[in-house]
Amino acid sequence: MTGTRSPEGLLERAGVRGNPDRDQHFLIDERVLDRVPGYLPEDADRSHVLEIGGGTGALTDRLLAASERVTVIERDPDLAAFLREEFAAEIDADRLTVVHGDALEVDLPDDATASVSNLPYGVSSEITFRLLPLGIPTVLMFQKEFAERMAAESGTSEYGRLSVSAQHYAAVEVVEPVPPTAFSPPPAVDSAVVRTTPRDPDYEVDDEDFFLRFVKAVFTQRRKTVRNAIRNTAHISGLDTPDAVVDAAPEALLSKRAGDLAPDDFAELASLAAEHGVEGGNG
């Protein structure tokens, strides 16, 4: 099923126009809007979908047609009020909850089964890393460059800290490029829809926070060998004795650069780092 509300009609009824200075670019291409909810994995639980940044409700309308219940978080007070008015019947039927607030600060619903959102690009990274640890499938709109970095494989120019961190939580796929003309007003960049499917990584880490901090540290010196990156970034990773880590790590990894390490390589190094480089050996 697809939604019945016209994106242009919603904008007109809301009496708003997108504002690039406020990171507001409304998705108005009905073909894209109709496709986006369908990018959830086939076996995804659609009983309660979380939407970040509802805007005027064009995607909200499609999500209500494709799921049992929707919670939408909207930062703009006028838009939150409009959503409550426009979707009053759905709210009365207990199918929609509108939360006015900042998605980086409000409590996310703990019973959400999926998230489908056209994210504000300025805070897309921060929001994504609030969503991924929830362990639910997502379909999210990003700047195309950000999307490609999320999905990148080791050894490619796009591969980096974002790739390793996102893929630690989920399989990441770019499922559709979206041109600027799909939005009002058109952003200055191309966009892309990304699907994330939760999965356990094929490696183990004892301390997730330390692992992610270690990955961040090494990538801050991606042009250096891993040996030098470990030594030079102890203030970021929190290592007390980085030389002990270098002594314990295999040369095959130390001689590479960060962009050539697979996620399981980072896991191996982080484990050694926590054991040999941190006082107490517990990260």
Average pLDDT, the chain: 94
Q: 188-243: per-residue pLDDT in tens?
A: 999 999 999 999 999 999 999 999 999 999 999 999 999 999 999 999 999 999 99
Is residue 105 over pLDDT 90?
Answer: yes
Quickly state the pLDDT bin for 253 (edges 50, 70, 90). very high
Superfamily of domain 7-198: Vaccinia Virus protein VP39 (3.40.50.150)
Would you state the pLDDT for residue 283? 42
Is residue 20 over pLDDT 80?
Answer: no
Tell me the DSSP string of the chain.
Answer: ----S-HHHHHHHHT----GGGT--EE--HHHHHHGGGGS-TT---SEEEEE--TTSHHHHHHHHHSSEEEEEE--HHHHHHHHHHTHHHHHTTSEEEEES-TTTSPPPTT--EEEEE--GGGHHHHHHHHGGGT--EEEEEEHHHHHHHHPPTTSTT-SHHHHHHHHHEEEEEEEEE-GGGEESPPSS-EEEEEEEE---SS--S-HHHHHHHHHHHHTTTTSBHHHHHHHTHHHHT-S-HHHHHHHS-HHHHTSBGGG--HHHHHHHHHHHHHHSSTTS--
Q: 93-102: per-residue pLDDT in tens?
A: 999 999 999 9
The CATH class of the 208-276 domain is: mainly alpha
Q: Mean of the pLDDT values across residues 132-146?
A: 97
Domain boundaries, the chain: 7-198, 208-276
* Lowest-confidence pick of 46-50, 205-209, 244-248: 205-209
Quickly state the pLDDT bin for 264 (edges 50, 70, 90). very high
Is residue 276 over pLDDT 60?
Answer: yes
Annotated binding residues, written as ranges, equal 25, 27, 53, 74, 102, 118
Quickly state the pLDDT bin for 281 (edges 50, 70, 90). low
The pTM score is 0.92
Annotated binding residues for S-adenosyl-L-methionine, written as ranges, equal 25, 27, 53, 74, 102, 118
Is residue 1 over pLDDT 60?
Answer: no
Q: pLDDT over 70 for what percent of the chain? A: 98
Is residue 149 over pLDDT 60?
Answer: yes
* Lowest-confidence pick of 105-114, 240-249, 271-280: 271-280
Would you state the pLDDT for residue 280? 65
